[in-house]
Amino acid sequence: MFLKKMLKKSAVSASVAGAVLATAMGVSMPASALDVVIILDVTGSTGALLPNWKSRMEAEVIDPIKLVDPNARFALVSHLDFPYSPYGGAGEYAYRVEATLNQDLTLFRAALKNLTNGVGGDTPESQYEAIRQANTGVGLDLNGDGDYVDLGDIPPQSLGFNPITNSFTMHFTSPLVYHNDPFEPDYPYAGVVNNPADYNDALNAMTSQNNTYFILTPDPLPTALAAMGGKMMPLVDKQTGKAVSSAALFRASSSAESLAKATGGSVLSVGSDLRGVKEAVEEIIEVVRPCPKGQVPVELPFGVVCVPQT
Ligand SMILES: [Ca+2]
Ligand SMILES: [Ca+2]
């Protein structure tokens, strides 16, 4: 983690010096390859947008990123919630690897095509745990019996991050209400030995991979919710059928936004039908681009380098 951070920091000053040098000498500088993790919440209303993701993913997410970084690698993971009532339904899961990081998108495409949606029980989901697992792959042994095969357990599986390149995460989820925010000792059941991740676990996991966290949501942004001052449409809890207070929703949304900001990312609204995905990806690229502004990556026999845009 320290090495990676140093590299990132030094890359900033190197890019300035390098750009000057590149211009002066007519040579170019190496570009970083990006590791891109896409987390899809496939519960309830977000799951209903799965067909939209299937039709938009390639042209509006993958292609624009590959354009600025032909070496970019992509991983796909999904979550519902732990299969314990009232948190999640039978057969549901808190985190699942669909495709590990790879430049080759064969497995990614097949996994996305086969991905199905669920319900996710109550309104908050296992977003924090999904973030922790995506970054660490440590697995979760809920009952602490030394295996990862009990109901709700998550088997360890690394996505295969490159330790010296930068990474970012796009998490599609709604509403921005995460379990364990604040900590729930009985989630997902009373007597659980190893608790699912909370805010700090998620943040530490993101930081360990130098991972920048972006949330893509069909909802209005937390700032817009605040501006509405509680006059928003009431959100109904899927499990209880009761309205969720706008104050609770705003507080929870703020946590999600804080997590994104703490990693250098942000919350982006993509509209109720994902029409804003393309624009959101453009905004993300502006933040995580592998080459300094005004330069573009070019693939050469010895690697991808940044050259001045003509
Ligand atoms: Ca839930
Ligand atoms: Ca176990």
Please give the pLDDT value at position 156: 98
- Between 5 and 114, whose confidence is greater? 114
Cβ neighbours for 34, distance < 8 A, ≥ 6 positions apart: 65, 69, 71, 72, 73, 165, 166, 167, 168, 288, 290
Please give the pLDDT value at position 166: 83
Distance 5 CA to ligand 2 centre (A): 34
| pLDDT single digits (tens) 9-40 | 334 344 444 444 444 444 455 666 899 999 99
Q: Is 254 helix (H, G, I), strand (E, B) or coil?
A: helix
**pLDDT, mean of residues 93-107:** 98
Please give the pLDDT value at position 224: 64
Q: What is the pTM of this model?
A: 0.82
Walk me through the domains of the chain, giving residue ranges and CATH numbers: 2-12+30-292 (3.40.50.410)
Please give the pLDDT value at position 9: 36
| pLDDT single digits (tens) 249-305 | 677 778 999 999 999 999 999 999 999 999 999 999 988 877 777 777 777 766 667
Please give the pLDDT value at position 140: 98
Residue type, 137: G
Distance 141 CA to ligand 2 centre (A): 4
DSSP symbol at 120? -
| pLDDT single digits (tens) 197-251 | 999 999 999 999 989 999 999 987 766 666 655 455 556 666 566 776 666 667 7
| pLDDT single digits (tens) 132-156 | 999 999 999 999 999 999 999 999 9
- Between 163 and 74, whose confidence is greater? 74
Angle, nearest 10°, between helix axes 127-136 and 199-208? 30
Please give the pLDDT value at position 165: 81
Residues 49/116, Cβ–Cβ less than 8 Å: no
Please give the pLDDT value at position 12: 39
Neighbours of ion ligand 1 (CB under 5 A): 81, 87, 120-122, 125
| pLDDT single digits (tens) 60-76 | 999 999 988 888 999 99
Distance 162 CA to ligand 1 centre (A): 32
Please give the pLDDT value at position 47: 93
Neighbours of ion ligand 2 (CB under 5 A): 141, 143, 145, 147, 150, 153
Question: Of the bound ligands, which one is closest to the alpha carbon of residue 151?
Answer: 2
